[in-house]
Amino acid sequence: MGEVLAIVNQKGGVGKSTTAVNLAACLAEAGAHVLLVDMDPQANATSGLGIERQQLKRSIYDCLIRGEPVSEAMLKDVALPGLDVLPATIDLAGAEVELVSVFSREYRLRQALDSLENEYRFILVDSPPSLGLLTINSLAAASGALIPIQCEYYALEGVSQLMRTVEMVQRHLNRQLTIRGVVLTMYDSRTKLSDEVSRSVREVFGERVFHSVIPRNVRLSEAPSFGQPIIQYDGASRGAEAYRALAQELLGGAANQREGAHTGTGAGGQ
C-alpha cells in the first residue's frame, strides 16, 4: 500500500477537510494516484468534492460496520483523474457507538484498506474533530499523522492531548505511525498574531512543520460551496498555489522516505 496519512486535530475549524480535499486534488494533479477517505460524520470532504451524500447507496460506514469491500463504496476519478473517494454520510454519526462492540474495533479501517495493496501512491484520511474511535481507526491505519494548526488564538490548545493520543496509538496499536508533518493554516500576513503563532508552532514541532503555509483566502473559503477543489474553482488563487506547494513538498518527502528505506537511514518528519 502507498503512504496512508491521517489528517487529525480534535479541534474543529482548523482546516482539516479543506486540507484533505485540496491536498488530494493537488497530488492527483501532480500525477499521483490518490484515495481520499472521509471518516468525518459531517462529510465535508465528500460534499466539498461535489458528491451528493443523499444519493449515495454505500459509504465508508458500510465498510467499517458491515465489512463490505471498499470497491463497493468507492467513487472513481472524482473532480479530476486519479482522485478516488471513499465518501461519508450521516450514517457515520452512529459508528462510534456501533464500533464499541465490534471485534478488533480499532482496526476496522486498516482491514478495509488492506485490500487495496499498492493501488495508491497516497491515501488521505479526513478525521472527525474528536479523539474517539473514528480518529483512532484513522491513526491505526496510517503510516503518518498530518496535523493542521490554524494561525489564530489558542492554536496550540489541545495539541498536547492530541500528541498523547498519537503516542498511545504508536505504543499499543500501530508502531509504524509517525508525525508526518504539521500544516499551518489560515495564515494572515497582515496580522502580528499569525506570525507569533507560526513562530510558536515551529518552536514546538521544529522541522516537522511544512514550509508551505496555507493563507486565509476568500476563494479557498468559497470553493466547498461549489463542490470543487480550489485548483478547479480558482487555480490562480493564493490558496491554490499554497496547496500545490504543499503537495510538492509532500511528494519530495515521500521520495526521500523511499530513498531512506533503501539506504537504511529512514525519514521521520516531512
Segment 143-165 mean pLDDT: 91
- Using DSSP's 3-state secondary structure scheme, residue 124 falls into strand
Checking if the pLDDT of 264 tops 70, the result is: no
User: pLDDT digits over 37-78, tens only?
Assistant: 999 999 999 999 999 988 899 999 999 999 999 999 999 999
If one counts every other C-beta atom within 10 angstroms of the C-beta of residue 162, the result is 18
What are the two backbone dihedrals, phi and then psi, of residue 3, each rounded to the nearest 5 degrees?
Answer: -80, 125
Residues 6+ apart with CB under 8 A from 269: 178, 179, 180, 181, 207, 208, 253
Q: In the prediction, which pLDDT does 260 show?
A: 45
Percent of the chain at pLDDT > 90 equals 77
Q: In the prediction, which pLDDT does 270 show?
A: 32
Checking if the pLDDT of 269 tops 90, the result is: no
Residues 6+ apart with CB under 8 A from 86: 35, 36, 37, 38, 59, 60, 63, 70, 73, 74, 75
Tell me if the domain spanning 3-263 has CATH number 3.40.50.1980: no
Q: In the prediction, which pLDDT does 262 show?
A: 39
Segment 82-87 mean pLDDT: 97
Domain limits, the chain: 3-263
Checking if the pLDDT of 257 tops 70, the result is: no
User: pLDDT digits over 167-223, tens only?
Assistant: 999 999 999 999 999 999 999 989 999 999 999 999 999 999 999 999 999 999 999
- For 28, 47, 78, 172, 236, the CA distances from 81, given in Å and listed in that order, are 7, 18, 7, 37, 20
Checking if the pLDDT of 35 tops 50, the result is: yes
Checking if the pLDDT of 153 tops 90, the result is: no
Percent of the chain at pLDDT > 70 equals 93
Checking if the pLDDT of 14 tops 80, the result is: yes
Residues 6+ apart with CB under 8 A from 31: 82
Q: In the prediction, which pLDDT does 1 show?
A: 63
When the pLDDT of each residue in the chain is averaged and rounded to a whole number, the result is 90
Determine the straight-line distance between the first and last CA of the chain, rounded to whole angstroms: 19
Segment 107-127 mean pLDDT: 93
Q: In the prediction, which pLDDT does 174 show?
A: 96
Which has more pLDDT, 257 or 247? 247
Q: In the prediction, which pLDDT does 96 show?
A: 84
Q: If pLDDT is split at 50, 70 and 90, which confidence band does 255 have? A: low
> Hey, what amino acid is at 96?
E
